[in-house]
Structure 1
Amino acid sequence: MIKKYRNLLILFSFVLLLSTSCKKSEDVCELNGKILNSLEDLPIIRLEDYFYTAETKEEFLFLFEKYPDFTKDYLQLELYNNKEELAKELLSINQDTLMQELYSEVKKNYVDVNQLEIDLNNAFAYIKYYFPDFKIPKVYTFLSGFSNDLYISDDMIIVGLDYFLPKEHRFQPEELPRYIADRYERDYIVPMIVTAISSKYNKVDQNQNSLLAEMIFYGKAYHFTKAILPCTPDDYIIGYTSEEVASCFANEKFIWSHFIENDLLFITNPFEIRQYTGEAPATDVISPDAPGRIGRWLGWNIVDDYRINQDVPLDVLMENQDAELIFRQSGYKPRQ
């Protein structure tokens, strides 16, 4: 059914989406240009260059002392009897030919992280503007051996660069299905980080456990990310292709009618909810052509309309725990 509309509308919708989103982004960027004047110069420390060139136990012990937060929280020092034991394990990893080859490939693909540094600095400036209590974390890159893509805490962010090699690269995380692995590229790093940070401010009512509540939760997360990264295309925020984004807008009325006709908004069965918001290559219950997680995309549109129609600041939106209220006051209707 969803294909019925696609051929007629996708090209028009895609062009319209590009023109309106670009215009909107330009306006937002211009209006909030003053935010970037408050930028703090945050250097990204490339820890893989230190840890994967260390050749002795003493070098590792020195690194443990120099980066105690990384050693304690990321390397999980408490799992070892002492620092010497951890140093011994890391030394054996460094002597692994495959790991050294992976390190070499990461260095080829990330000769520098200058753009990542700029983009993260911009994002942190926006978050700080909207949420003055935000504490800018230290940022490290590392080579995790496909064990950790992103580590994010209040004090520290660690980017596992091996996860973000080009999707055609021979080194790929084996545990990820292709439709998810395709999102693990350079342009997704900052949107992923910002979306993760949104959870710190995204308040929820645990008593609201409906599909609508989950849709609004994700909608607030994506809205937060777009507000912090106003010039970033929706593709990189939600992890759809540009064609999928255009197709969703072209078929929004059809998608919404499926939710209404099947009385889905207030279902609480976790299995049913996952069909609309969980990771999947497609939302098959609507159509094999509908991208997965379409409930999240729909929730994003509802939250967008709520904030526009109610004219609430971003921090007030994120504090609002009442998903049903947000929905009712959004005035949401599918785009024509």
Structure 2
Amino acid sequence: MKFFRYLLFSAVFIFGAVSCKKDAENIWAVEIKEPAPKVEITDISKEFYNTGVPLEDFKQKYPWFQGSVSDEDYSTRRADTAEVKIYKEAISKIDIAKLNSDLTDLFSHIKYYFPEFKTPQVYLFSSVLSGIMEPVFYRDDVNMLFIDITGFMGENNPNYKGLEQYFQTSMNPQNIVPKVSEVLANYFVQPNPNHQKFIDEIIYQGKIMTLQDAFLPDFPDYLKMHYSQKQFEWATENEINIWNYFVENNLIFSDDLRLKERFINPGPFSKFYTEIDNESSPRVGIFTGWQITRKFFQQNPETKLTDFLKMNAQDIFNQSNYKPKY
């Protein structure tokens, strides 16, 4: 299989490919003349665990926070030293001032491309590790953004014992803003249920990643992919090998639903079903879709972002002329 031959020789060509590649102009580095209002984060758990704040006052201020928990259980939780300890450790790892600034910049970029976007109210809270698999969620009906700080305590944190390492890779404080950006990007990219081919899925993911580029033009690419730097380097260095594998195995236009699990969903690695699997980066289908959409904008730099999001996958692919080379 050519995949292995290319891998065998990739080390020879990688240096040359990287050294010859010129830094492309960042088309997303725009001037923001009308920034979004300055973000002022509210730390709900700070008040929740402050027993000096009467429970009734807390409930009136955040009537949606208690849910179905009884007052008795609520009071017990507030005084739980183990819960308080987790909260204090989690909040200690976050630079609130920097997060305010980064989110303000993020929202400003979103507003630049989508003027109708309104800056949401931002709340930090501690789920005591129960919500760490989806630590960021957005309530568009009330324009509230919630960030579970226990989902960003740092990979290999003792509190994450037993959690698969591949999840922990993106559980660092520096991953907060990219995850917020990704959650919000999903509101601007609508999947087409009638498109079931692999190309449709990777271009859909590429659109979300393109919004990441537009919303976070100064953030490192590896953070946008929720990769480690090593994982991003592997994907970048093996871009042509990945693409050749997809082409030679007739996967691009396949409607095999298992491809999503192999190349899109989170996991420790991608599933090529070869001995290279354990060395590979996960979610390479998303990475490939991203490179295709980036190539599209290199070929069509005048395309408006809103128009691009309405395009179908086949047209984007065709107009990208995506053919990675060493």
Identity of aligned residues (%): 23
Query: 5+ unaligned residues in a row in structure 1: which ranges?
Result: none
Q: CA deviation at 1:260?
A: 0.8
CA contact (8 A) 1:14 1:246 kept: no
1:189-208 equivalence runs, <5 A? 189-208=176-195
Q: TM (normalized to structure 2)?
A: 0.88
Instruction: Provide the C-alpha distance between the structure 1 equivalents of 2:124 and 2:52, rounded to a whole number of angstroms.
Output: 20
Q: CA deviation at 1:139?
A: 0.2
Q: In the TM superposition, what whole-angstrom CA distance separates every residue of 1:141-190 from its partner, at most 9, and x where no partner exists?
A: 1111112212212211111111101223222275x411111211111111
1:9-158 equivalence runs, <5 A? 9-10=13-14, 20=23, 24-25=25-26, 28-29=28-29, 32-35=30-33, 37-54=34-51, 59-68=54-63, 70-71=64-65, 75=66, 77=67, 79=68, 85=70, 87-110=71-94, 112-148=95-131, 149-154=135-140, 155-158=143-146
Query: What RMSD, in angstroms, separates the aligned Cα atoms of the two structures?
Result: 2.3
Runs of 4+ displaced beyond 6 Å = 14-17
CA contact (8 A) 1:167 1:182 kept: yes
Aligned length: 313
Q: CA deviation at 1:16?
A: 6.9
CA contact (8 A) 2:38 2:104 kept: yes
Q: CA deviation at 1:316?
A: 1.5
CA contact (8 A) 2:91 2:149 kept: no
Number of the residue aligned with 1:8: 12
Q: In the TM superposition, what whole-angstrom CA distance separates every residue of 1:28-87 from its partner, at most 9, and x where no partner exists?
A: 53xx2334x52311200111110111367xx2221222234x42xxx4x3x45xxxx2x3
Query: 5+ unaligned residues in a row in structure 2: which ranges?
Result: none
Instruction: Provide the C-alpha distance between the structure 2 equivalents of 1:159 and 1:173, rounded to a whole number of angstroms.
Output: 21
CA contact (8 A) 1:9 1:250 kept: no
CA contact (8 A) 2:152 2:172 kept: yes
Instruction: Provide the C-alpha distance between the structure 2 equivalents of 1:140 and 1:231, rounded to a whole number of angstroms.
Output: 24
Q: TM (normalized to structure 1)?
A: 0.85
